[in-house]
Amino acid sequence: DTAVSQTPKYLVTQMGNDKSIKCEQNLGHDTMYWYKQDSKKFLKIMFSYNNKELIINETVPNRFSPKSPDKAHLNLHINSLELGDSAVYFCASSQVLRAGTGELFFGEGSRLTVL
């Protein structure tokens, strides 16, 4: 039973399209995150939510819009996809709000390729 699950695992699409990635966690955690991992494996935080409330909103183009319908789900919608959006997107969750005091549990990632 996967703790943090993301769908789809692979996504190939054309520039200009809109796509969504879904994330669900069954750990009972209050905090969820989206991270972007680029081709050089550098991980950068994009967003975090705590119990459906937006906590972190990094400098991310407003084409990216997170949505948290409940504390177990955090989805990522991307409008007007660009080549530079190609990356692996990781969802993660944590039991605590302050990142330093807890452990992040990661999903397996969603590899987005924009052609």
Partner 1 sequence: AQSVTQLGSHVSVSEGALVLLRCNYSSSVPPYLFWYVQYPNQGLQLLLKYTSAATLVKGINGFEAEFKKSETSFHLTKPSAHMSDAAEYFCAVSGDDYKLSFGAGTTVTVRA
Residues that bind partner 1 (CB under 8 A): 4, 40-45, 48, 55-56, 90, 92, 97-101, 103-104, 106-109
In angstroms, give the least distance from the CB of 46 to partner 1. Answer: 11
Spacing of C-alpha 104 from chain mean position: 13
**72 vs 97, beta carbon nearer partner 1:** 97
**14 vs 39, beta carbon nearer partner 1:** 39
For residues 55 and 68, is the Cβ–Cβ distance under 8 A? Answer: no
**58 vs 82, beta carbon nearer partner 1:** 58
For residues 67 and 77, is the Cβ–Cβ distance under 8 A? Answer: yes
Q: What φ, ψ does residue 57 adopt, rounded to 5°? A: -140, 90
In angstroms, give the least distance from the CB of 112 to partner 1. Answer: 15
The single-letter DSSP state of residue 26 is -
For residues 58 and 81, is the Cβ–Cβ distance under 8 A? Answer: no
In angstroms, give the least distance from the CB of 33 to partner 1. Answer: 8
**14 vs 101, beta carbon nearer partner 1:** 101
